[in-house]
Amino acid sequence: MATATETTIAQKLEALLKLQTIDSALDNIKKVRGDLPEEVRDLEDEIMGLETRLSKFQQEIASFEEQISNYKNSKKDSDKLIVKYKEQQMNVRNNREFEAISKEIELQGLEMEIADKRIKEIDFKVLNKNDEIASVESTLFERKKDLEQKQKELEVIINESEEDEQKAMKDRDKALKLVDPRLFKSYEKLRDNARNGLAVVMVKRGACGGCFSSVPPQRQTDIKDKKKIIVCEHCGRVFAGVEDVIPPPEKEKKSRSKAAVAAPAAPAAE
């Protein structure tokens, strides 16, 4: 009986750790894609904004051009009137009539001057607007280039990882079948709450592999025994086991063997 339970817990932990490994691999795939999809979206938004601005500017230019053409037409009208008035002046019967027509001519002349002034003003506005359009267009050109580049990158990354992702998903389905349903529930909860997505960890160098809090030696022994499910007192993650500290293969087992193993001299190996 006792041995049967032992095996079961060990197997449960093993299944859970396997699932964790697959899920971590899937997390990594998503992380690699992580920023790119968002960057692509941001660029698309920016380009849309720039295009809206550009079309607004172009509408403004069109309206300026319409105003200019209106002023030019009214100038032509004034011109015609002046010609007509001058003809009339040839046939006046008295000075008073001549003076009255002169005033009309003068008035039309003034109208033409005003129109010229307005046309100049609007021409200036068109010039400025065209500068703005050129600047928006060059930004737009750059952004479109960026977008194209990023879209290509994203496509490559997705293509590269798609196969891995699908394989991992299949493995996950298989691994999931071996996981105890109740343990899976807490596994999911733990993963939701954990920033690094780790719900099942090993004890590494005497510390929890999830939150790095130290795990007392007696507890480590219990974890190694795998007679029951033991969770981290600090973060609640499930301990799947205690990772063996593998000493460097060479220049070991000589005079300073014990000291070398006890001291954390291993970082070079990582």
247, 260 Cβ separation under 8 angstroms:
yes
Question: Does 238 interact with Zn ion (rule: CB under 5 A)?
Answer: no
- Which one among 175, 179, 200, 232 touches Zn ion, defined by CB under 5 A? 232
What DSSP string runs through 180-202? -HHHHHHHHHHHHH-TT--SEEE
Helices (H), the chain: 2-90, 95-177, 181-193, 217-225, 257-262
28, 135 Cβ separation under 8 angstroms:
no
CB of 214 to Zn ion, least distance (A): 10
Instruction: Label residues 190-212 b or e (16+ Cβ within 10 Å = b).
Output: bbeebeebbbbbbbeeeebbbbe
CB of 10 to Zn ion, least distance (A): 21
CB of 171 to Zn ion, least distance (A): 26
Question: Does 17 interact with Zn ion (rule: CB under 5 A)?
Answer: no
Q: By CB under 5 A, how many residues form the interface with Zn ion?
A: 6
- Considering only the stretches 17-25, 62-70, 224-232, 252-260, report the one whose residues sit in contact with Zn ion under the rule CB under 5 A: 224-232
Q: In the complex with Zn ion, which residue's Cβ is closer, 71 or 210?
A: 210
CB of 212 to Zn ion, least distance (A): 7
Pairwise CA distance, residues 235 & 233, whole Å: 6
- Which one among 9, 119, 211, 231 touches Zn ion, defined by CB under 5 A? 211
The footprint of Zn ion on residues 190-209 (CB under 5 A) is 208
Question: Does 235 interact with Zn ion (rule: CB under 5 A)?
Answer: yes
147, 47 Cβ separation under 8 angstroms:
yes
| Residue 186 CA: distances (Å) to CA of 16, 179, 190 | 11, 11, 6
CB of 206 to Zn ion, least distance (A): 12
CB of 203 to Zn ion, least distance (A): 9
Q: In the complex with Zn ion, which residue's Cβ is closer, 16 or 105?
A: 16
- Considering only the stretches 124-132, 225-233, 239-247, 260-268, report the one whose residues sit in contact with Zn ion under the rule CB under 5 A: 225-233
51 burial via Cβ count (<10 Å: 0-12, 13-18, 19+): middle
CB of 205 to Zn ion, least distance (A): 13
Which residue type is seen at 16? L
- Considering only the stretches 73-81, 120-128, 144-152, 210-218, report the one whose residues sit in contact with Zn ion under the rule CB under 5 A: 210-218
- Which one among 84, 100, 234, 261 touches Zn ion, defined by CB under 5 A? 234
In DSSP terms, 203 is beta-bridged to 208, 242
Under the rule (CB under 5 A), what is the footprint of Zn ion? Answer: 208, 210-211, 232, 234-235
